[in-house]
Structure 1
Amino acid sequence: MVPPLALDIDGTLTTPTGRIDPRVFELLPAWDAPVVFATGKAFPYPVALANFLGREETVIAENGGVAYVGGETTVVGDPDAAWAVVEAFRERGGAVGWGDGDTVNRWRETEVAVSPDADEALLREVAATVEDVEVVDTGYAFHVKSTGVSKGRALERVAEALDLDPAAFVAVGDSENDASTFRVAGESYAVANADAVAREAADEVVAEEFMDGTVSVLAELRERVE
């Protein structure tokens, strides 16, 4: 049997231009084991992806702030503290940077995402004044979130709900927010475009970037059981 998967989305299941790679729709619907989509995006995004793939809605969103499995939602973290940081950041001249609609944060429940074009130094300076809040750079946004929240901890909860050992999972990702998943999963891969934190935490860094790297991992996993 192929192993269960914990897959990041942005930078891992996408093209270099940020689009979902069409091979996702060829490879993942037929994967004969649980697939957990673990992302920094808000909850609706991985749920929608799971639906379009015809898979169970088994997802981790907001860097572990929201986990959904078996029809039950777990929400952890302190959104009030995250927003307090962002409001203080704004008062000191910082900008969240997503425009008037801000669909990036509209459905977030546990954290706030700030544009990668924002003043990172100022944001981190403000966050350092608030207890138990941190800023995580995923390459796609600066995420202001509770320090106790991580994809890895959420994967442990999801695995328990699925009656699986977290070590049974193979994780693939590209960013520092995937490092905690890599430490929990039994086997982990960083795609070639991964940042330094993810590369250091992974068991292996594959030669290919973005979805090309993920495809190579899935192919190797299938070869093991054939």
Structure 2
Amino acid sequence: MLRAVATDVDGTLTDRRRRINTAAIEAIRTLVDAGITVVLASGNTVCFMDTLSKMVGTDGTIIGENGGVYRRSFSGPLQIAGDREVCLEAFEVLRDYFAGKGVELELYSAQYRFADVAFARNVDPAEAQAIIQVKGLDVRVLDTGFAIHLQPPGVSKGAAMRELAIELGIPTTEILAIGDSENDIEMIEAAGVGVAVANATPATRMAADVVTSRPYGDGFVEAVKMYYSDLFSR
């Protein structure tokens, strides 16, 4: 029995223009009303996730900053994973390096982040990772398709989901995880059932147990109807 659903947001509930799929919202509300815990998991900030949770209708159980922060319900304490200082140090290295090439790095919502650093996708992530490694910094460069993130070691959506599962009292084997990007791979692999929507990256599709026939929010709806058919046949 799958007692919880952990889902990515951008590219899974939304399209490439970040327009949220209204059928996906209705599906989430059907799950919530049936007592299924829905975890919104994203690279976005906590304040963004809180607003989204309120408007979609979940209880505020979230994974933010690609696993850098997580929380059980709106009333639960925010848990912060990893050391953001090393990410800030890595960002300064990258900013100096790319400035020398005439490229300015644009930080995203820095004042609202607790664990990672995010900036615009105007440089090659592989080049950024190589520069950080040369400097001996233990930081992962993660391209979500919407931003480039710098993550502390050990931080991922999958690691956060495992911690949340303990708090929720739900084994990871009873969680359905849905995503599209490489930042979703650890979450998909850690779940009892991992699903990639049709627009997912090749690596994400390879990690999943199932790949939907439809992309974006329509793929999310397809996935939950596949595993909760009784709720959607009433």
User: What is the TM-score normalised by the length of structure 2?
Assistant: 0.88
Q: Distance in 1 between matches of 2:185 and 2:124?
A: 24
Q: Distance in 2 between matches of 1:12 and 1:46?
A: 15
- Residue of structure 1 in register with 2:201 after alignment: 195
- Residue of structure 1 in register with 2:161 after alignment: 155
1:4-57, CA deviations, whole angstroms, 9 ceiling, x for partnerless residues? 100000000002321111223322123121000111111112221111123211
1:168-216, CA deviations, whole angstroms, 9 ceiling, x for partnerless residues? 0001000111110011110011011111221111111111110011111
Q: Distance in 2 between matches of 1:149 and 1:121?
A: 19
Q: Which amino acid aligns with 1:180?
A: E
Q: Which of 193, 197, 220 is the equivalent residue of 1:214?
A: 220
The structure-2 alpha-carbon separation of the partners of 1:111 and 1:184, relative to structure 1 and needing over 3 Å to count, comes to same
Q: Distance in 1 between matches of 2:66 and 2:136?
A: 19
- Percent of pairs with identical residues: 32
Q: Distance in 1 between matches of 2:2 and 2:187?
A: 19
Q: Which amino acid aligns with 1:47?
A: D
Q: Distance in 1 between matches of 2:206 and 2:188?
A: 10
Say if 1:85 and 1:126, in contact at 8 Å, map to a contact too.
no
Structure 2: give runs of 5+ residues left out of the alignment. Answer: none
The structure-2 alpha-carbon separation of the partners of 1:2 and 1:164, relative to structure 1 and needing over 3 Å to count, comes to closer
Q: Distance in 1 between matches of 2:209 and 2:46?
A: 28
State whether structure 2 residue 52 is matched by structure 1 residue 49. yes
Comparing 165-174 with 84-93, which one deviates more in the overlay? 84-93
1:115-146, CA deviations, whole angstroms, 9 ceiling, x for partnerless residues? 11224344222221233211011111111111
Give RMSD over aligned pairs: 1.7
- Residue of structure 1 in register with 2:106 after alignment: 97
Q: Distance in 2 between matches of 1:130 and 1:90?
A: 16
Q: Which amino acid aligns with 2:69?
A: V
User: What is the TM-score normalised by the length of structure 1?
Assistant: 0.91
- Residue of structure 2 in register with 1:110 after alignment: 115
Q: Distance in 2 between matches of 1:64 and 1:8?
A: 11
Q: Which amino acid aligns with 2:16?
A: P
The structure-2 alpha-carbon separation of the partners of 1:118 and 1:106, relative to structure 1 and needing over 3 Å to count, comes to farther
Q: Distance in 2 between matches of 1:45 and 1:197?
A: 27
Structure 1: give runs of 5+ residues left out of the alignment. Answer: none
Q: Distance in 1 between matches of 2:104 and 2:82?
A: 23
Q: How many residues align?
A: 222
Secondary structure of the residue aligned to 2:113 is: coil
Structure with greater helix share of residues: 2
